[in-house]
Chains A and B, each alone.
Chain A
Amino acid sequence: MQNESAIDPKIFEEILKFSKNVIDAPKLVSAPDEISLEVTKHDVVQEMDKTRLLHYAPLTDKQHKTPLLISYALINRYHILDIHPEKSWVRNLLQQGFDVYMLDWGTPTSMDKYLDFDDYVNGYLDAYVEYIKNESSVEKISLQGYCTGATIATAYITLHPENVKNYIATAPVIDGWRDTTVISNLAKHMDVDKMVEVVGNMPPEFMYYCFSVLKPFEQGIEKYVNFFKNIENKKFVDSFLRVEKWLSDTPPIPGELFKQWIKDIYQDNLLIQNKMYVGNQLIDLKKITMPIFTQVAVGDHLVSPECSMPLHYAVGSKDKTLRMYPTGHVGMIASSLSQKKVLPELGKWLLERS
């Protein structure tokens, strides 16, 4: 009697191929320290404490007059905006003729645990805006805030509207009560006073935990299965490793800043209610009257669209634009979609106002 197996032999082939890929992986992929995330040429033009201001070298003969400063998020590092030559947010803007600066918040140490919103908004950000104004001989600059960097930038433009000509809010964290993400749920139930009192700065390890519960099976299993399946695809591997390196590098967040962020945004939701104070000054979103461009990703599982969109409706600006893109939090800034759709639209909007 013939022993027939109902299992397709291709399954065994697939398993063998996958196993071979896992074994070959160390020979085919670079070590994390061999990958440089510094893609586009830039100079560090200013430093304050641990923060730095980067100025990117132009890629066009002529540049638009109004410079653009990007206020990156407090989580992970600015490299995601310049992660790969073909997916670089910064490079694309440079190619469109914009003069681009980037704020690197640096790596706070225990000594920086008392840095708060006031230091970030009225200290670092304000000082760098003033520097750019002086360097470029302009009265006003364009400002872009990404994620939590947009929370800081939003506070800044309400307190220093005279310095900002155009504001771009990319996935801004604004309305914590409307945020439907897991991060928001964890933040709402956090005893942040106790955390800051005991551990000081918000440790990166805790943030890694928070991120690990976001789409845990797709991000924790499928992503790596795909990586090993595509181990011979150099382009895929390069792109994968760059993002992985970026993900694994997040600085601590200064304790006082973290405390105010969690309390005022997620727990008490003061910002959208125009009740938040920064350095004893009220943040009134109605005072924002400059042109504003809000970018939201429909599939954002870190900052849900419901959390970002209220900014568009809360500001006093008459010239305001809201764009929603069919992508995620990172996809909006570092993907082929961002290159083909998000950045050309932003460039057009900015050019008309620069």
Chain B
Amino acid sequence: MHLMASKPQALNSIGPMRAFASNSKKVSTELIEINEVLMGFNQYYTEYYKQLSDTWTDAQKKVNIKAPEVPHDVEQIEAFKRIWIDIFDNDFTELFDSKKFGENYGKLVSKELELTKHWNNITNVILQSVNLPSKEEIDEVYKEIHTLKKRVGKLELELKKKEMKKNAK
């Protein structure tokens, strides 16, 4: 069974399947790690919505205390709207400004980034199987271009200064 299964890979030594198969373990590892990250992500995601929901409930209670009666005319509706918006804006700004929100949101974003990183790694396996550059390899090129541009810029500046000196003489 094993020989039969590996036969297409042996036949297509330069085709995508061989390269993909040789890295397929990496894909499995990444998928297992994605599951672990997802657990953490869900934890922070739940906490994120809990914070929003708790703040909403508290803000609505404050509105109910401040404006207990149902508005009956246009002016009262306007006044109610003002109270509602002010209380909700204040309470939510207080939440977004808090350490507990900042920390949880930071961790939530961090988990999202980890997920993206694992997804990138899986994509790299596929890219390499068809001889395309990985994200890291493209980043290296970008970095090299950036360094070269800086060097050229400095050289041009030095040349300009020399020319100015020459012209001054």
Contact = CB atoms under 8 A, between A and B. Distances in A.
Which interface class (under 10, 10 to 19, 20 to 34, 35 or more) fits A? Answer: 35 or more
Contact of B96 (A191, A213, A221): A213
Contacts of A198: 113, 116-117, 120
Contacts of A185: 96-99, 101-102
Nearest to B160: A130
Pick the most buried of B110, B117, B146, B153: most chain A CB atoms within 10 A of its CB: B146
A8 B74 contact: yes
A199 interface: yes
A189 B106 contact: yes
Contacts, number: 87
Contacts of B99: 185
Nearest to A182: B96
Interface residues of B, number: 36
A110 B145 CA distance: 12
Contact of B73 (A10, A180, A188, A194): A10
Contacts of B72: 6-8, 11
B88 A123 contact: no
A31 interface: no
Chain B interface, DSSP helix/strand/loop, else mixed: helix
B85 interface: yes
A111 interface: yes
A113 B102 contact: no
B143 A123 contact: no
Nearest to B92: A216
B74 A11 contact: yes
B67 to A, nearest CB: 15
Contact of A180 (B97, B120, B153): B97
Given A10-B73, A114-B146, A222-B81, 16 more contacts: A8-B74, A11-B73, A114-B142, A123-B150, A181-B97, A182-B93, A190-B109, A191-B109, A195-B109, A195-B113, A198-B117, A200-B139, A214-B93, A216-B89, A217-B85, A218-B89
Which 10 pairs between the two chains have the least Cβ-Cβ distance?
A: A189-B106, A8-B73, A114-B146, A189-B102, A182-B96, A185-B102, A217-B88, A198-B113, A191-B110, A213-B96
Interface of A: 6-8, 10-11, 14, 49, 110-115, 119, 123, 180-182, 185-186, 188-191, 194-195, 197-200, 213-218, 221-222
30 contacts: A7-B72, A8-B73, A11-B74, A11-B77, A110-B142, A114-B142, A119-B150, A123-B150, A123-B153, A181-B97, A185-B96, A185-B99, A185-B102, A186-B96, A186-B102, A188-B102, A189-B102, A189-B106, A190-B109, A194-B114, A197-B117, A198-B116, A198-B117, A198-B120, A215-B89, A216-B89, A217-B84, A217-B88, A218-B85, A218-B89
